[in-house]
Structure 1
């Protein structure tokens, strides 16, 4: 394409505006259009991108011949809006989750493939300096052969929007909101291997939920195993008495040591990476690290080179399949995924 890609933003709540600010500061795109039903959100967004055109809805966005659209609307809208954009020939970067379940995610990825358009997802923790370093060290066998991992994301607060607590709109609770990052990190650093078995326990206000629950969970624990025998334990929650704002850790155990990403002093934003041998711990990465917008910036940089479909989008279907199995939905989702894989 000639010139900078022209980008529109659909959904301008806090996360949409933060991502737009980071992308605007990068200077690699032209922020051309803004869309949100809230006048207040539009006004705040216009302070960040004063030259952008304000539009009423997705139809008007799609009439502007944009190169890409960034979607940061409620989760229930993600799949349908992404598909509409892709079918109109527009590249998409979407907030997680891409869909409320694995079949929805598979439908979006299939639409991107048919349209031959770039599809990105805001899996932002991949882009922290701490996780980048850990992935590099795992690839270099810094801790020998990886055989296990513990992944945790406890948020002492719950979401502040009512739709998060409606399964039909959100697709689930803390697992689809926070656990998606943990599953993605595990799959990402181990090459998206097949997951051979999954067990899980989901709770809402201390009450155990059954499989495929119609109530959102606020606490979950899960264990799964990869094809090479690597085991993973996962825990995530909303509103847990954590004694701090958040506990976010990803610890990888090898035959010759361990690697860990850990948030500092309960922060949602500050992370360090460390390598551990026996009783010793060596810090490898410390803040500051402006990582919040890096996933979007990486998508935009790729867009400047090509709008074409990237095969890595299929990773999102695999991760969503693991989430469905944590929720006990595999009997519903797996046949559709197998059909697509075939």
Structure 2
């Protein structure tokens, strides 16, 4: 029995283990396609769970391969995705240029391997839908690295919203300004990235807004995209470095989203996700311009109380959560269908 087949059998027949499927002790065999900083960091988070081993890695950069092998010295080097998939894998982690994500995910899923992919899953809703359908048809777990969901602050804000502890939510403001911008050239090539700051940073904001509010229908979307201060149209070869979008949800609530690269904001980053209701508000925000230090507060009128204290080491939480879910059940998770809804909003922001 293959590794994935064994994991699935234990998940479907927990009686074989004498308890729930979470008692599976077999270490998962994971492949890594792309082991730059993000891919390597997610590898470390997955290995730290004690549930997985990195058995094969692939990256065109010898420097990145060497760095990954320092983390997982027993891993075998693979030439490409096809070579990776010849290994007996229980899962594949994809951290390659964005435009390749959808096709690579579909190939792995068709060959029977669950996938954890960097965001965005695809540059368009049609491609995201095709990936989700491949996961559904092959009954395999599909995850995307939407890491802000897993922070303590957003978990607590989500709980307040679910309980309607803030009353009726009527507005949300979400911001992500990166004063540096990406350092890899492919981010600025639309054919490789699928877009600029919206698909890089705005994807987190759209997901957080819809996820936090229970994925409501989006009735209207308006947006403005700029590059170096000038408008960028949907047919332009340029990628946007500043964008603002307004979403009107079914029922009338409004969501404002703003994101940018290289904004002269006086600090390294501005990250915030704020939700306002008839009986209070709540906000996640970064601290001192940091990309990694986050806190959350709850508001009542002009008063503020701490909702979640300072948190720094959260970037790998989504990767670790996917490994734990994979160990319990490698089958299709219907929650990933919401990825299509978020991708459709991104299409509308881009005017597609």
Correspondence for 2:128 among 100, 105, 114: 105
Q: Give me the whole-angstrom Cα distance separating, in 2, the residues matched to 1:33 and 1:211.
A: 39
Residue of structure 2 in register with 1:45 after alignment: 68
Q: Give me the whole-angstrom Cα distance separating, in 1, the residues matched to 2:311 and 2:257.
A: 27
What is the Cα deviation at residue 212 of structure 1?
4.7
What is the Cα deviation at residue 111 of structure 1?
1.0
What is the Cα deviation at residue 97 of structure 1?
0.6
> 2:176 touches 2:258 (CA, 8 Å); kept in 1?
yes
2:337 corresponds to 1:306: no
Residue of structure 1 in register with 2:291 after alignment: 268
Correspondence for 1:166 among 183, 189, 205: 189
Q: Give me the whole-angstrom Cα distance separating, in 2, the residues matched to 1:67 and 1:19.
A: 16
Residue of structure 2 in register with 1:152 after alignment: 175
What is the Cα deviation at residue 289 of structure 1?
4.2
What is the Cα deviation at residue 307 of structure 1?
1.4
Residue of structure 2 in register with 1:58 after alignment: 81
TM-score by length of 2: 0.92
Residue of structure 2 in register with 1:7 after alignment: 30
Residue of structure 1 in register with 2:110 after alignment: 87
Q: Give me the whole-angstrom Cα distance separating, in 2, the residues matched to 1:327 and 1:60.
A: 35
Deviations along 1:214-243, one digit per CA (max 9) or x if unpaired, are 320000001011112211011000000111
Residue of structure 2 in register with 1:201 after alignment: 224
What is the Cα deviation at residue 167 of structure 1?
1.2
Q: Give me the whole-angstrom Cα distance separating, in 1, the residues matched to 2:338 and 2:132.
A: 9
Deviations along 1:84-126, one digit per CA (max 9) or x if unpaired, are 1000000000000100111111111111111111100000000
> 1:129 touches 1:289 (CA, 8 Å); kept in 2?
no
Q: Give me the whole-angstrom Cα distance separating, in 2, the residues matched to 1:215 and 1:109.
A: 29
Correspondence for 1:182 among 205, 217, 222: 205
Q: Give me the whole-angstrom Cα distance separating, in 1, the residues matched to 2:253 and 2:90.
A: 41
TM-score by length of 1: 0.94
Residue of structure 2 in register with 1:237 after alignment: 260
Structure 1, unmatched stretches of 5+, are 330-342
Residue of structure 2 in register with 1:27 after alignment: 50
> 1:36 touches 1:56 (CA, 8 Å); kept in 2?
yes
Residue of structure 2 in register with 1:334 after alignment: none
> 1:196 touches 1:226 (CA, 8 Å); kept in 2?
yes
Structure 2, unmatched stretches of 5+, are 1-5, 8-25
Q: Give me the whole-angstrom Cα distance separating, in 1, the residues matched to 2:133 and 2:236.
A: 27
> 2:295 touches 2:311 (CA, 8 Å); kept in 1?
no
Q: Give me the whole-angstrom Cα distance separating, in 1, the residues matched to 2:334 and 2:147.
A: 19
Q: Following superposition of structure 1 onto structure 2, how do residues 68-87 of structure 1 map, counting pairs within 5 Å?
A: 68-87=91-110
Residue of structure 1 in register with 2:270 after alignment: 247
- The runs of at least 4 consecutive aligned structure 1 residues that moved more than 4 Å come to none
Q: Give me the whole-angstrom Cα distance separating, in 1, the residues matched to 2:302 and 2:310.
A: 24
